[in-house]
Chains A and B, each alone.
Chain A
């Protein structure tokens, strides 16, 4: 890497200033950090926090939408930091996959900030719910937009420490107990990730993802890339809560405020899946191929274990924790299949899951407000209590089971077809069985909590617009993408295509095969 003395180093420097439109790539991260800092400065005026957060996240949705539009029009966009060109400098590179995930995350955060208007009381705001939310979004956006693998680790840590803050917002005994398990196991997961980054640097001598993708082919015969891929797989599977390493999730996701649970379920596990797809599908495709049987077994086990675990629960929030795990299994199956069809199924499922898991947790919170409890044994009569709420619930339940005409149906069809195309009939069967068990599970919820007469009379609570609007917005998205999936489907297929052939990504980082 050290250039001989007297070499022309201008190839390593950015000589022309960064075009203003490229600042769009880092704007989501900068925006979130600045607003988070601003709110910390205004910590004496917690009433302002909610306003800043809602407006700020609405702006974030807008920025991510413009970014997505830009990526659709021009292909991947790169911005480099501090005048150093890659692979020396740090690059933010966004392709279609990253832009889609960033937009979905921003929508989810906006929705949760609306719901938080009623769910987070003055105490929670004083402990900094909204600043933590903005910093969490900075971390999540950073993960989706960065083009450097050590940077990916740093953004993981940013979102992790904000999630710790959100998790123990009420300082209740349950929350502290849940946070212990969440914190220790997630910290071990990111440490494993850091180990993998260390080995990656030892092997490649670079941390830039495009550079790694370029060099992987040449090093394959001599370097222990298989070990590396397995280590990344283990670390990200732990973050995403895949089967043998998933038990921290149901232990902790039901303890915080419901809107925090919703955020975590919508975003955090999907961040693990994003990183897994980015590393094993784009950077190490040959190793993914070799590991595909194991990933498929893990995915099938995760789908079935999640669905069976959900069936066994009586607390709705804990049940949803297992439903999150079951969804992760579906995405892993797509990664295991690895054909463009399988990967596009995974990406579609991830986007759908961000919206859906968020909506289901908010729904559970609302059901508990109406029925007075999270326990299935105590809930009842919700259908009579509020008709439109029961209808919304039914739509979201059907989407979660993967039944048409809602958004869960399409990724499931794509995944099952992709599995059958490569002859993995048992994987397709596991996915379908998982969907069947989830249907039973949600059927039971609907039967017990909605149709059954209330076991004890509860006083009627009106649903405010702050809770109704997020639920209706998410339901509209879930229904819309179920009925008219073609635009999203073509985007997702393009994203999967560019992951399988990262030529455009590499070209965006190294426009003319720059300094090596």
Chain B
């Protein structure tokens, strides 16, 4: 199953990078959303994939049975999902505000902070 997941993660990454390279901020946001999911899948694959034994300790035992799924990556992914989701929400609002205030979603034209023709430094006095 790992090779399959590896290919899937690769597909996610390529789609994310393609979108991140776009000029338009909304596509960049979509790219970031896909990138976050690609990383989550990567973490998941990194922690060994099994489908038979859930990571639950049966009654009367004090350790996981052999071949159980690894619970740690799931905890890591849960944290990463929460964080990336909150960031995405913030970024979407920021993108919308930027579109409202600057009047464009083309990053080439977002040059308020770095104007195209800043005043030249003085050469003498």
Q: Pick the interface stretch among A66-74, A176-184, A361-369, A484-492.
A: A176-184
Of A176, A187, A377, the residue contacting B98 (CB under 8 A) is A176
Q: Pick the interface stretch among A190-198, A290-298, A395-403, A411-419.
A: A190-198
Contact A198-B43, Cβ < 8 Å, known A154-B79, A314-B120, A377-B119:
yes
- What is the chain B residue whose CB lies nearest that of A167? B94
Contact A183-B62, Cβ < 8 Å, known A188-B32, A195-B42, A251-B114:
no
Kindly state whether residue B1 has any CB partner on chain A within 8 Å: no
Q: Please tell me if the beta carbons of B83 and A157 are within 8 angstroms of each other in the complex.
A: yes
Kindly state whether residue B3 has any CB partner on chain A within 8 Å: no
Q: Pick the interface stretch among A3-11, A42-50, A209-217, A326-334.
A: A3-11
Q: Which of B96-125 contact A (CB under 8 A)?
A: 97-98, 101-102, 107, 110-114, 118-122, 125
A7: chain B residues at CB < 8 Å are 62-63
Contact A315-B118, Cβ < 8 Å, known A176-B94, A177-B112:
yes
Q: Please tell me if the beta carbons of A201 and B91 are within 8 angstroms of each other in the complex.
A: no
Q: Please tell me if the beta carbons of A201 and B73 are within 8 angstroms of each other in the complex.
A: yes
Q: Please tell me if the beta carbons of A179 and B94 are within 8 angstroms of each other in the complex.
A: yes
Q: Please tell me if the beta carbons of B122 and A448 are within 8 angstroms of each other in the complex.
A: yes
Q: Please tell me if the beta carbons of B118 and A448 are within 8 angstroms of each other in the complex.
A: no
Q: How far is the CA of A243 from the CA of B98 in the complex (A)?
A: 27
Contact A173-B120, Cβ < 8 Å, known A180-B94, A194-B80, A198-B39:
no
Q: Please tell me if the beta carbons of A191 and B98 are within 8 angstroms of each other in the complex.
A: no
Q: Please tell me if the beta carbons of B62 and A9 are within 8 angstroms of each other in the complex.
A: yes
Q: Please tell me if the beta carbons of A191 and B112 are within 8 angstroms of each other in the complex.
A: no
- What is the chain B residue whose CB lies nearest that of A151? B79
Q: How far is the CA of A373 from the CA of B101 in the complex (A)?
A: 24
What mask results when residues 140 to 165 of chain A are scored 1 for a CB within 8 Å of chain B, else 0? 00000000001000100100110010
- What is the chain B residue whose CB lies nearest that of A7? B63
Contact A183-B94, Cβ < 8 Å, known A2-B63, A201-B73:
yes
- Interface size for A (C-beta < 8 A) is 54
Contact A188-B90, Cβ < 8 Å, known A4-B63, A154-B79, A202-B47:
no
Q: Please tell me if the beta carbons of B121 and A452 are within 8 angstroms of each other in the complex.
A: no
Kindly state whether residue A199 has any CB partner on chain B within 8 Å: yes
For residue B72, give the distance in angstroms from its CB to the closest CB of chain A: 7
What mask results when residues 65 to 105 of chain B are scored 1 for a CB within 8 Å of chain A, else 0? 11010001100100110011011001100110110011000
For residue B73, give the distance in angstroms from its CB to the closest CB of chain A: 7
A181: chain B residues at CB < 8 Å are 113
Q: How far is the CA of A6 from the CA of B62 in the complex (A)?
A: 7
Contact A194-B39, Cβ < 8 Å, known A173-B102, A375-B119, A376-B122:
yes
Q: How far is the CA of A250 from the CA of B118 in the complex (A)?
A: 14
Q: Please tell me if the beta carbons of A174 and B83 are within 8 angstroms of each other in the complex.
A: no
Q: Please tell me if the beta carbons of A377 and B121 are within 8 angstroms of each other in the complex.
A: yes
Q: How far is the CA of A222 from the CA of B36 in the complex (A)?
A: 29
Kindly state whether residue A257 has any CB partner on chain B within 8 Å: no
Kindly state whether residue A254 has any CB partner on chain B within 8 Å: yes
Q: How far is the CA of A267 from the CA of B118 in the complex (A)?
A: 28
Q: Please tell me if the beta carbons of B43 and A194 are within 8 angstroms of each other in the complex.
A: yes
- What is the chain B residue whose CB lies nearest that of A199? B46
Of B90, B102, B119, the residue contacting A314 (CB under 8 A) is B119
Kindly state whether residue A252 has any CB partner on chain B within 8 Å: yes
Kindly state whether residue A261 has any CB partner on chain B within 8 Å: no
For residue B27, give the distance in angstroms from its CB to the closest CB of chain A: 12
Q: Please tell me if the beta carbons of B112 and A164 are within 8 angstroms of each other in the complex.
A: no
Q: Please tell me if the beta carbons of B61 and A177 are within 8 angstroms of each other in the complex.
A: no
Q: How far is the CA of A168 from the CA of B97 in the complex (A)?
A: 11
Q: Please tell me if the beta carbons of A176 and B91 are within 8 angstroms of each other in the complex.
A: no
Q: How far is the CA of A315 from the CA of B113 in the complex (A)?
A: 12
Q: How far is the CA of A37 from the CA of B46 in the complex (A)?
A: 36
Contact A177-B121, Cβ < 8 Å, known A201-B72, A201-B76:
no
For residue A446, give the distance in angstroms from its CB to the closest CB of chain B: 12
For residue A390, give the distance in angstroms from its CB to the closest CB of chain B: 16
B98: chain A residues at CB < 8 Å are 176-177, 180
Q: Please tell me if the beta carbons of B63 and A5 are within 8 angstroms of each other in the complex.
A: yes
- What is the chain A residue whose CB lies nearest that of B62? A9
Q: How far is the CA of A315 from the CA of B114 in the complex (A)?
A: 11
Of A2, A183, A198, the residue contacting B91 (CB under 8 A) is A183
Contact A164-B42, Cβ < 8 Å, known A176-B101, A184-B32, A314-B120:
no
Q: Please tell me if the beta carbons of A452 and B36 are within 8 angstroms of each other in the complex.
A: no
Kindly state whether residue A313 has any CB partner on chain B within 8 Å: yes
Q: Please tell me if the beta carbons of A173 and B63 are within 8 angstroms of each other in the complex.
A: no
Q: Please tell me if the beta carbons of B102 and A177 are within 8 angstroms of each other in the complex.
A: yes
For residue A225, give the distance in angstroms from its CB to the closest CB of chain B: 15
Q: Please tell me if the beta carbons of B72 and A173 are within 8 angstroms of each other in the complex.
A: no
Q: Please tell me if the beta carbons of A183 and B72 are within 8 angstroms of each other in the complex.
A: no
Residue contacts A-B, CB under 8 angstroms, 29 given: A2-B65, A2-B66, A3-B62, A5-B63, A7-B62, A9-B63, A150-B76, A154-B83, A161-B87, A164-B90, A164-B94, A178-B113, A179-B94, A180-B98, A188-B20, A188-B32, A188-B35, A194-B39, A194-B80, A198-B46, A199-B46, A202-B46, A313-B121, A314-B122, A376-B121, A377-B119, A377-B122, A448-B125, A452-B125
User: 5 nearest interchain CB pairs?
Assistant: A202-B46, A314-B121, A177-B112, A198-B43, A178-B113
Given contacts A6-B62, A177-B102, could you give 6 more A-B pairs where the C-beta distance is less than 8 Å? A176-B101, A180-B98, A180-B107, A202-B46, A254-B113, A314-B120
